[in-house]
Amino acid sequence: MALRKSQKQAVLAVIAGCLLAVLLWVKDGKNTDSDFVMRGEPGEGSIEKEYILEAEGLFTDDAWTVTAEERKLTMEEKKETFSKAQKELEQQILGANQSLEEINKDLYLPDTLQDGMVKVEYSFSDYRIFYPDGTIRQLPQKAEVITVFAEMECQKETSIYEFAIQVVPFEKGSKELLIEKVKAALEQENEKTGENKLTLPKEIGDVKLLWKEKTENRSLPVAVLGIVAAVCILASEKEKEKKVKKERERQLQMDYPEILGKLILLMGAGMNAAMAWKRIAEAYRKRREERNIPIKPAYEEMLTTVYEMQDGIGEVQSYKNFGERCRIAEYRKLAAILAQNVKKGNVQIQRILEEEKIEVYEKHKARVKKAGEEAGTKLLFPMLLMLLVVLVIIMVPAGMSMNL
């Protein structure tokens, strides 16, 4: 039995996996002799490796975990590392500040320097200005010098680096200064006695002030309401069109069995399709004019078809146009039957129409049944409300009599 392509691929994958597993087993299962463990670079931490130790005459296959500490720096290397860490700290500690002589924003205190080789702890000579984490507690009124102590540790060697920073008050811009002057002017006006009004300052220094009373801007809500109203109108119009279309389809479906029955009756009496069609349409037009009966879309489309035939449009094309205007499967089918009868002279049209009538009546009964079920469902909620009213009428007097 030949294997399919996918089955062949699956078999090859299994074979390749088995071969790879065997190779790895051979490689990993063989214990290689080793005389050293490569240490990690300073800052990388220790490295652990699993070994099998054999001691001649004492034990074999003894499991050992060997920990290799990171490479130890010489004293010269440590001094160089501390020097580089100090320069790095002077740059990083600035944070968003421009220089160590102009500090008025939070400091950045890194926990490690030099790629983790140096650990650092900090302290300040004055904690009135800074919190221990380097954030500003309160800026001074004038410039102050603060000493920062950084205790650095590198492979159990420590070095304390201290340096000075100058904390300066936040420089106010022209806008902030003007705001303060305006506030001061308003406070001065409020201190006046016997005045029944507050005079707003017209000028501060060389800057002229223009006061405008703030009013509620209702343009945006009105615009939003307009947009919402437009959307609602469009939605309601669309819903209205949908309801009109649905009602038209319902009327077309309701009138179809009647039209089909009249066609069968007249064609059975000897009329051809065009004559029977015209007879039905003209009878509807006369009843509508004389008795003011409501407009029925199916009969209106039949009248349009009669007018098309009178204007010279072929009978077959007129029937097709009728089916397209009605846009319902039953009418399209009727139009196709009549068009086929005109083109090929189908002698079986009476029987075809009779079969169509039977099928239509079955569909009509199903629609009526469905409409009845929907009506029953719609009545369920009012019936529940009535039940609640009845329960209230019964239970309230009973509860009141029990309380008495």
pLDDT, one tens digit per residue, over 54-111 is 776 676 666 767 676 667 788 888 888 888 998 988 888 888 888 888 888 889 999 9
Phi, psi of 48 (to 5 degrees): -110, 140
- What type of residue is 17? G
Please give the pLDDT value at position 120. Answer: 92
Q: Cα angle at 371 between 365 and 373, to 5 degrees? A: 105
**pLDDT band for position 206 (cuts 50, 70, 90):** confident
Please state, rounded to an integer, the average pLDDT across all residues of the chain. 79
Indicate whether 266 pLDDT > 80.
Answer: yes
**pLDDT band for position 356 (cuts 50, 70, 90):** confident
Given a contact cutoff of 8 angstroms between Cβ atoms, the answer to whether 69 and 48 are in contact is no
The sign of the CA dihedral 114, 115, 117, 123 is positive
| Largest interatomic CA distance in the chain | 129
Mean pLDDT of 248-267: 85
Outline where DSSP puts E strands in 47-183.
47-55, 59-68, 112-113, 118-124, 144-154, 157-167
* DSSP-derived pairing of the beta strands 144-154 and 47-55: unpaired
Indicate whether 374 pLDDT > 80.
Answer: no
What distance in Å separates the CA atoms of residue 183 and residue 134, rounded to the nearest whole number?
33
What distance in Å separates the CA atoms of residue 77 and residue 42, rounded to the nearest whole number?
11
Phi, psi of 56 (to 5 degrees): -60, 120
What distance in Å separates the CA atoms of residue 209 and residue 198, rounded to the nearest whole number?
15
Tell me if residue 160 falls in helix, strand or coil. Answer: strand
Q: Which residues pair with 62 in a beta bridge?
A: 53
Nearest partner of 334 among 314, 293, 305, judged by Cα: 305
Mean pLDDT of 1-30: 64
Rounded to whole angstroms, what are the CA distances from 36 to 32, 39, 49, 285, 308? 12, 9, 11, 111, 105
Mean pLDDT of 115-141: 87
Mean pLDDT of 381-398: 81
Tell me if residue 335 falls in helix, strand or coil. Answer: helix
Rounded to whole angstroms, what are the CA distances from 187 to 194, 195, 213? 15, 14, 19
Given a contact cutoff of 8 angstroms between Cβ atoms, the answer to whether 359 and 351 are in contact is no
Mean pLDDT of 291-318: 87
Given a contact cutoff of 8 angstroms between Cβ atoms, the answer to whether 45 and 119 are in contact is no
Rounded to whole angstroms, what are the CA distances from 288 to 167, 283, 297, 318, 391? 99, 9, 12, 23, 52
pLDDT, one tens digit per residue, over 31-60 is 555 566 666 667 666 677 776 677 766 766
- Helix residue spans in 96-173 (DSSP H): none
End-to-end CA distance of the chain: 94
Contacts of 162 (CB under 8 A, 6+ apart): 147, 148, 149, 150
